[in-house]
Chain A
């Protein structure tokens, strides 16, 4: 192999459309664990189409590794489609919830300013505690932790990342085509192989 500069790892968003099948999460997770790759974030939820689920998986790896993993995932019987994208190619969000004691926050914090500055909302206000919510990138949700820490933060939770692919033209239509016994070529084709011209050099 000609001497190459070390290839940088970066964050990749892997989007997987699957059947709703017991054990599939394990099958997909094993593709990562077998290669000792850590999953940074994993979201799985029903898609807009009945019976089809969508995974969003975030890992930090080189494109070469990610593309091979994506093919291994797509090879699983219950997987319909896999896409992978860098952060530039997606719009993504994480949601976070923060629970703080109501008395402290009401007394000491300028609540209104705090909410505005962090794009947060109040979800619940009770005598004993208040729950704020914010969505955004990691830095944004992190930021509010720092802000709320002095006010006696009781509990914090952050969701996995969900991401929308910027160039996802016709996704919904393609997915619906899977229902047919004889779907069209673009659905049958493996997406990576289709885009090989871009991905691989002749």
Chain B
């Protein structure tokens, strides 16, 4: 993977007596960790004490809430491809990680979280700040482990990184009791782990399935590719593009997969799912061979399963055997790392153009432009739309920025319309839909990709869930562009209430503070606009500002995101209005 090894700081090769805390930090440096997002407390103090001496090697970003810490870790992992590292103390510190762990678990984000724990002899006594962190985090981690003796540290940390980053990545939590952090032991050096006997990160590629898949693809008249984040997790963007360009097959993405192929690639036909594009949803039920690559057929993508692509033969490429046939029965299961399977498949498929078939997608696109997109991006109404803000942003960033989104209408709009030229440029909470994700994740994303512009697109609801992370921005000086699309509503819930609950707007009317004043309090310049003529200038100012900037755009209050596949409907029943 992308984690780079770098020389460890001043620790001799031969055995030395050091503390558990020092051993942990030494391990992190060998794993190539450069940034830690964390928050101290009683039970993790020995580690923080050791950190004091590692300042040059490990940058610690002090967050304002552990949830912010773990979302920052996620943002870092997603923008860099490396493992995100998070520190938290025992009890409340650790429980504050749970949302982020669940988010990272469902979105396959590699993390190693270190939590402090009470002294081993106090375990189970309801000691001060004791929580059963292993018990609480078991269902939301790929792996977790409690260390009660310092001698376990090197081996367990090595395992943690190996598990987090290999196979289908995921979050790992290591809970270290305070005595183990303090304990001095004879450190024999740190060896990275590359094998665990019971752990098979990826299944062996089976030639016969590659051949069957190629035969199906070669005989297909109307093949259709769906791709997900797996393409990026496997660093297989080039292999994916080569496969697509040889076969000429139209391809659509899940929101987790956005950006693995540039937005303007001629075979990129758009977004799948509930608020995806018209063509890809309808064509799912028209194609004859459906090729799913590194995606997991989430219900937000498939809509009603018993009416999903029933006419099609299904080829599923995935690294996780448990995903094969989980939701959609496949004709050919191409399990394995798509970095390996895609080139094998590309070798066997015939070079083709599916111009007529591709043109059909473009016809549907035209319908969608006429019914939805034109008015959303270039509105004739007086008030601004979310879509036109994203459209203007595209004009200015030219698709070069990393877009981090929160959850709600603005998320769907940003994912639908943001132009992405590069992989790892769309960071969003896809599987869990965690409001409050964007601000901290954007901070982490910037640390993970310091040379790129990071724009956080956030709703007026979500920003208030983790707004304290403005403090992290203030203190660390990180450069994040904060774009609040304020519709004065919990918009996505309001939309559902409008459409499915007879407009009974139950507790979706949300007030906001003066964000510009709030930002100012944190030393972050900001601006709020509600006139179209100010939009381009304000976005320009935000992007040009050296350092973080908050821009609030007041948008129309009761816009709905369309198209939409209503819950319980089939993808072909997608509504344009």
Contacts and interface: CB of A to CB of B under 8 A. Distances in A.
A181 B199 CA distance: 11
Nearest to B331: A202
A202 B138 CA distance: 36
B195 to A, nearest CB: 5
Interface size class of A (residues with CB under 8 A): 20 to 34
B203 A27 contact: no
A1 B305 CA distance: 9
A18 B199 CA distance: 10
A26 B135 CA distance: 8
Contacts of A75: 320-322
Given A1-B310, A23-B144, A30-B138, A178 B197 contact: yes
B138 A77 contact: no
A23 B196 CA distance: 17
Interface string B142-159: 111110000000000000
A26 B204 CA distance: 29
Given A196-B333, A200-B329, A74 B138 contact: no
B363 interface: no
Interface stretch (A105-113, A149-157, A186-194): A186-194
Contacts of A74: 321-322
Secondary structure at the A interface, as helix, strand, loop or mixed, is: mixed
Nearest to A71: B322
Interface residues of B, number: 31
A190 B197 contact: no
Interface in B156-204: 163, 195-200, 203-204
A67 B329 CA distance: 13
A187 to B, nearest CB: 9
A27 B146 contact: no
Nearest to A196: B333
Nearest to B212: A202
Contacts of B498: none
A77 B142 contact: yes
Contact of A72 (B163, B197, B322, B325): B322
A77 B199 contact: yes
Interface of B: 134-135, 138-139, 142-146, 163, 195-200, 203-204, 306, 310, 320-322, 324-326, 329-331, 333, 335
Given A77-B198, A190-B321, A193-B335, 4 more contacts: A75-B321, A178-B197, A196-B333, A200-B325
Interface of A: 1, 18-19, 22-23, 26-27, 30, 34, 67-68, 71-72, 74-75, 77-80, 178-179, 181, 185, 188-190, 192-193, 196, 200, 202
